[in-house]
Amino acid sequence: MSVPMAYISVIIIWSTTPLAVYWSSLEAGFIFGATSRMVIGAVLATMAAAVLGSGLKWHRRAVIAYAVSGFGFFAGMMSVYWAAQYVPTGWISLIYGLMPILTALMAHRFLEGESLTGHRMLGMAIGLAGLAVIFGNGFMLSIQAVLGIAGVLIAATIHAGVSVAIKRLGTELPAITMTSGGLLFAAPLYLMALWLSATPLPSELAPKTLAAIGYLSLFGSVFGFALYYYVLKNVEATRTSLITLISPVLALTLGNILNGEALTPSILAGALLILSGLAMFEMGEKLGLQRS
């Protein structure tokens, strides 16, 4: 797949994932929803790696990369699943819009050639202003909502750190290999969390819940992560993280249409600012802004 097509595919998958996360956890709880997705995803990803002929590599650097990736799959996604109980699905994608800031700061510190130019910093500021408009327009947040926002912020920080760490390792592993290895490391952690939580296993699941788990296992985990790592290998880390500035707009629209989530003028204004920030980040240098 071409890099632009993979980039677009990741945006679509990430835009639909928050809603699927919410639906997959409705009946049996967020731990069961997350665990079922990751365990099935680990099996599918390992099968895909074998079929494609890449398989798993077990040299030292590859194992370290799997462990780092697996930590992100577990800690980051578990935080998102927990937070989805308390905040609208569109908000999850919007809060993840902060990840370019986190990634850029980490990449600037730990990766060579990842500079913070003037137009990028301006684009980030405009994107942050969009998020501020959305969340700062008189929202009266409950404690649960505040905790949910904190949970997504923690997940975004973990995801940014993992992205930079994998880029720094430079393992050159195929995307599906990285995905299957990370999921294999994460799956036992999820199973242990499910066991420790003493969550009763459901005897029956609604078709909507099953469809959400299946979608997340195949597209959200296998294809989504594999395509993301493919993009990550071929695009600099800060630009890869801009996916999280595009997907919120689609996620908000889907949340409104399919889940009845509010889509107010302030949210639309914030989304416009986010897209403006994205344009500045990507095209500011071409428009004549000088590097800092």
pLDDT at residue 138, rounded to an integer:
46
CA geometry: angle at 192 spanning 191 and 193, to 5°?
A: 90
Sequence letter at residue 97: G
Inter-residue contact 120 to 284 (CB < 8 Å): yes
- Tokens 């709880």 belong to 29
Per-residue pLDDT tens listing for the chain (292 residues): 678 888 888 889 989 999 999 999 988 899 999 999 999 999 999 998 888 777 888 888 899 999 999 999 999 999 999 999 888 888 888 887 777 778 878 887 777 766 677 777 888 888 788 877 766 654 556 778 778 888 998 999 999 899 888 888 877 788 788 889 999 999 999 999 999 998 888 888 899 999 999 999 999 888 887 787 788 778 766 666 677 677 888 888 889 898 888 777 877 888 788 778 777 776 666 555 544 4
- Tokens 């050159």 belong to 172
Query: Which structure tokens are listed for 119?
Result: 């137009």
pLDDT at residue 191, rounded to an integer:
96
Sequence letter at residue 39: V
Q: CB-based contacts of 203: which residues, under 8 Å, 6+ apart?
A: none
Cα–Cα distance for residue pair 236/175, rounded to 1 Å: 15
Q: CB-based contacts of 115: which residues, under 8 Å, 6+ apart?
A: 108, 291
Inter-residue contact 249 to 275 (CB < 8 Å): yes
- Tokens 């731990």 belong to 31
C-alpha distances out from residue 274 to 121, 124, 243, Å: 13, 9, 11
Q: CB-based contacts of 192: which residues, under 8 Å, 6+ apart?
A: none
C-alpha distances out from residue 280 to 2, 10, 117, 122, 285, Å: 24, 21, 11, 7, 8
Q: Where are the domains of the chain?
A: 3-283
pLDDT at residue 148, rounded to an integer:
85
Q: Which of 78, 48, 41, 33 is nearest to 212 (CA)?
A: 33
Inter-residue contact 227 to 13 (CB < 8 Å): yes
**Which residue blocks in 84-174 are alpha helix, DSSP H?**
89-95, 99-110, 118-135, 143-169
Inter-residue contact 225 to 182 (CB < 8 Å): yes
Neighbours of 132 (CB within 10 A): 12
